[in-house]
């Protein structure tokens, strides 16, 4: 109950870089001061490394007391943990989210939690999110397919976010359609969308349109545009330009 109340009144959780001081009443020789390591641990006499990341100071007090008692080191120890300084952990969320910017994080936060804190992905945002992380003098890039993760019901790719991570949501791929359709224009390309589905997105044919001889203008590997005649069940690719011809009859 104490821990629950502490969380409600703002006893924030510990994270890497936070400096804390630990007192044991009646045992001044066990007083310890140190920083939470990058792995989320604090080193304490006779116990070694103790995982504290994601715990409030109150929860840390209880954990250390339980460890001291369970290992027959002290009986009913009275433990006090004081937060000496907090290391502000900041991340950047950019691209097609509702609220771009830098955000503080505390404790462990996974990618979907961070995206939710940024207001979620907007309608024009893509399904694949890129996380760029600094590792020493180099950078690591990870791509997470949010849509596939949700469809598969597998949270294993919902990676934990660390301080200074950059999360970027690209614009969703698009296609263009013009000619004899109800609503010519630019549209979001859904995954595995066919030509007939793209045509439906644009409202279908107008009175002069025909599905015969549908043409697509598409960039090849060299960047040049090529013109193809396609069938209604062919897949549309990003940046395709679909042209619907006028019926001659």
Q: Is 52 left (phi over 0), alpha (psi -120 to 50) or beta?
A: alpha
Predicted pLDDT at 53: 87
Q: Please, which residues bridge with residue 33 across strands?
A: 21
**181: which DSSP letter?**
B
- Main-chain phi, psi angles of 29, to 5 degrees: -70, -15
CA atoms within 13 A on the CB side of 231: 2
Sequential DSSP letters for 1-60: -HHHHHHHTT-PPP-TT-EEEEEETT-GGG-EEEE--TTSEEEETTTEEEE-TT--HHHH
Q: How open is the CA angle 110-115-120, to the nearest 5 degrees?
A: 150
Cβ-in-10-Å burial (0-12, 13-18, 19+) of 110 comes to: middle
pTM of the model: 0.62
Return d(Cα 200, Cα 214) in angstroms, integer. 14
Predicted pLDDT at 61: 93
Return d(Cα 203, Cα 196) in angstroms, integer. 11
Strands 32-35 and 19-24, how do they pair? antiparallel
Predicted pLDDT at 90: 80
Predicted pLDDT at 146: 94
Find all residues with CB under 8 Å of 182, minimum gap 6, and list them. Answer: 202, 203, 204, 205, 206
Answer whether 8's CB lies under 8 Å from 67's CB: no
Answer whether 21's CB lies under 8 Å from 15's CB: no
Per-residue pLDDT of the chain (249 residues; tens, 9 = 90+): 334 433 433 456 787 778 899 999 988 888 999 888 888 899 998 899 999 988 888 899 999 999 999 999 999 899 999 887 665 578 999 999 999 998 877 667 899 999 999 999 999 999 999 999 988 778 999 999 999 999 999 889 999 998 889 999 999 999 999 999 999 999 999 999 999 999 999 999 999 988 888 999 998 888 888 998 999 999 999 999 999 998 876
Taking the CA atoms of 70, 72, 73 and 77 in sequence, report the sign of the dihedral they define. Answer: positive
């Amino acid at each position: 109950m104490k821990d629950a109340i502490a969380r409600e009144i703002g006893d924030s959780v510990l994270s890497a870089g936070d400096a804390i001081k630990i007192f044991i009443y009646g045992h001044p020789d066990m007083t310890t001061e140190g920083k939470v390591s990058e792995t989320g641990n604090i080193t304490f006499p006779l116990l070694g490394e103790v995982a504290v990341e994601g715990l409030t100071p109150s929860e840390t007090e209880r954990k250390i007391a339980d460890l001291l008692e369970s290992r027959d080191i002290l009986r009913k120890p009275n433990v006090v943990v004081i937060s000496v300084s907090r290391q502000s952990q900041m991340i950047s969320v950019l691209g097609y989210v509702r609220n771009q910017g830098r955000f503080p994080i505390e404790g462990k936060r996974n990618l979907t939690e961070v995206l939710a804190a940024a207001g979620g992905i907007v309608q024009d945002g893509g399904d694949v999110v890129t996380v760029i992380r600094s590792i020493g003098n180099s950078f690591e890039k990870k791509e997470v397919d949010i849509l596939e993760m949700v469809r598969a019901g597998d949270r294993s790719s919902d990676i934990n976010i660390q301080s200074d991570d950059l999360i970027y949501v690209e614009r969703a791929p698009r296609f263009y359609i013009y000619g004899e359709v109800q609503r010519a224009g630019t549209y979001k390309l859904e995954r595995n969308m066919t030509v007939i589905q793209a045509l439906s997105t644009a409202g279908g044919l107008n009175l002069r349109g025909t599905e015969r001889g549908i043409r697509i203008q598409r960039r090849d590997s060299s960047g040049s545009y090529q013109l193809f005649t396609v069938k209604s069940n062919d897949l549309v690719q990003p940046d395709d330009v679909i042209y619907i011809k006028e019926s001659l009859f």
